[in-house]
């Protein structure tokens, strides 16, 4: 019998992220405390650009955006918010979405699998994702449980379970 496998990835659903930004933008337009402060949240290429006329206001805009991401089921581990910086008369924050598993995190996940998972489970890094294989599906499910319980700096999804 062939080995059973699954892939570990770390990706953000682009449509859900877009919906979260649109909801945040609508709330910023409607809320009284954001009237007249130039508060906005919009896509700028692959990043989300937050703007306001003061550092405190732009941090409040970031809080609104983060709350919308949480409501859409996207964990804050997937957001990489920069520090506020002045640009002319306004302050800005650039928020990048983390896509893929970097080498450091992939090695950390591989180490957890080697140390804590059943001995039949093997993992291998393939670009920005990991492929995990074993003869036993039960061992793979146990590995998923271990990785979900681990406190990692990236959000993991488990796909292609075969």
Tally of structural domains, the chain = 2
Name the burial class of residue 1, with classes exposed (0-12), middle (13-18) and buried (19+) by CB atoms within 10 angstroms of its CB: exposed
Domain termination residue (choose one: 62, 97, 132): 97
Domain identity same for 70 and 35: yes
Domain identity same for 86 and 52: yes
Domain identity same for 90 and 120: no
pLDDT tens-digit profile, the chain (162 residues): 568 888 888 888 899 999 999 999 999 999 898 888 889 999 988 899 999 998 899 999 999 999 999 999 988 888 999 899 898 889 999 999 988 888 888 889 889 988 888 888 888 888 888 888 988 888 888 888 988 888 888 888 888 888
Domain identity same for 84 and 64: yes
Predicted TM-score (pTM) above 0.75: yes
Residue 135: which of 120, 145, 113, 123 has the closest Cα? 120
Report whether 154 contacts 76 (CB < 8 A): no
Domain that holds residue 147: 4-11+101-159
Q: Give CA–CA dist 146/67, Å, rounded.
A: 28
Report whether 143 contacts 113 (CB < 8 A): yes
């Amino acid at each position: 019998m062939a080995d059973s496998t699954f892939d570990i990835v770390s990706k953000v659903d682009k449509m859900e992220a877009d919906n979260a930004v649109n909801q945040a933008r609508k709330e910023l337009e409607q809320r009284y405390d954001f009237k007249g402060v130039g508060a906005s949240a919009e896509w700028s290429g692959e990043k989300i650009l937050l703007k306001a006329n003061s550092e405190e206001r732009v941090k409040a805009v970031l809080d609104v955006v983060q709350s919308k991401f949480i409501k859409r089921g996207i964990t804050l581990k997937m957001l990489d918010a920069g520090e506020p910086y002045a640009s002319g008369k306004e302050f800005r924050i650039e928020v990048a979405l983390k896509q893929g598993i970097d080498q450091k995190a992939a090695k950390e996940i591989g180490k957890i699998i080697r140390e804590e998972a059943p001995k039949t489970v093997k993992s291998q890094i393939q670009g920005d994702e990991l492929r995990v294989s074993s003869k036993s599906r039960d061992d793979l499910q146990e590995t998923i449980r271990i990785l979900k319980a681990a406190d990692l700096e990236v959000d993991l999804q488990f796909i292609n379970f075969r």
